[in-house]
Amino acid sequence: MALMSYAQAAALAIEHAMRENAHVVVLGEDIGRGGIFGQYTGLQALFGKDRVIDTPISEAAIMGAGVGMALAGLHPVVEMRVVDFALCGMDELVNQAAKNRYMFGGQGRVPLVARMPSGIWEASAAQHSQSLESWFAHLPGLVVVCPGNPQDNYSLLRAAMDCDDPVVYLEHKALWGMQGEVDSSIRATIGKARTLRYGKDITLVSWSRQVQACDDAVQALLREGIAATLIDLRSIWPWDREMVLASCAQTGRLLVVHEAVQAAGFGAEIAATVAQHTRARVSRLGAPRIPVGYAKVLENEARVDVQAIVQAARDMVAANVQKAVA
């Protein structure tokens, strides 16, 4: 066990993978000097410029080169700096990486990890603060992962680099400095969620940075006598249906919370699945359908804060209690 930041955990995961597998390479803008969040610090000095490759400022070229490398037998980690910039390389990801195995009858595979830092980045406005996980979950052929703490950013990144399919890896832009203990012997399984807290009254499901807000909300609810289960989904596709369904069957209530815009967010998929397979009452809480503002007061309008989560959970529990009394 070692105490390190979310960024350091990612760099350690890549270092270990590169030592174990000579086919792992990294490419992207500014990674030779460590990346804009320090998530590649020291790697070029260890492995050289042929394996930690600085690229021109062209997301389409970076992603396209990564897809070609993967098809040629390498295991590339493709750095997009932020998910918002990755939109310039979407054709290579969506029409080439995601479709290759299917279109060519399994003759090719694209074991590529596309790192796309996601979420609200303080004072960075509408073009640098988007949460687009539901876009990628909608696309057959892609795996979608959202680590929410340093341990997961080590373990899930190792799992992503072992995957034979393209992985969209969405680290949160606000978590790079988050500190936590990391055990490099722990390996995660993509598609396996984690239950952080157990309670009988309501199930909260979230992922990435929003898990922290949910955890604070769960503690506030407990002081009011409401005991909540909190599940960190960890990966969006595949997602842990079994764990979520089992919890909702026990509590009878589900609240899905995400930082992304609520309209057509991945919370709708979870809520619909739970409604189809259990008798639980379902609800979801996400951001309003507005661009993230630069000014703090506008940025806050796009956030789902602890108070909003507490109120939504409180209302669900109260509604069921009132119905039972009636």
Q: Which residue spans of the chain are classified as CATH 3.40.50.970? A: 2-182
Active site residues: 128
Cα distances (Å, whole numbers) of residue 45 to 31, 35, 41, 323: 11, 13, 9, 64
Question: Taking Cα atoms as reference points, which of 146, 172, 313 lies closest to residue 233?
Answer: 146
Query: 166: which 2 tokens?
Result: 């393209």
Query: 67: which 2 tokens?
Result: 């897809």
Distance CA 106, CA 153 (A): 29
Q: 194-325 is classed in which CATH architecture?
A: 3-Layer(aba) Sandwich (3.40)
Superfamily of domain 2-182: Thiamin diphosphate (ThDP)-binding fold, Pyr/PP domains (3.40.50.970)
- Three-point CA angle 206, 211, 216, nearest 5°: 125
Which pLDDT value is given to residue 122? 86
Amino acid identity for residue 233 in this structure:
L
Q: Which residue spans of the chain are classified as CATH 3.40.50.920? A: 194-325
Half-sphere exposure of 207 (CA within 13 A, CB side): 30
Which pLDDT value is given to residue 30? 92
Q: What is the pLDDT along the chain (326 residues), one digit of tens a residue?
A: 899 999 999 999 999 999 999 999 999 999 999 998 999 999 999 999 999 999 999 999 999 999 999 999 999 999 999 999 999 999 999 999 999 999 999 888 999 999 999 999 887 888 888 999 999 999 999 999 999 999 999 999 999 999 999 999 999 999 999 999 999 999 899 999 999 999 999 999 999 999 999 999 999 999 999 999 999 999 999 999 999 999 999 999 999 999 999 999 999 999 999 999 999 999 999 999 999 999 999 999 999 999 999 999 999 998 765 554 44
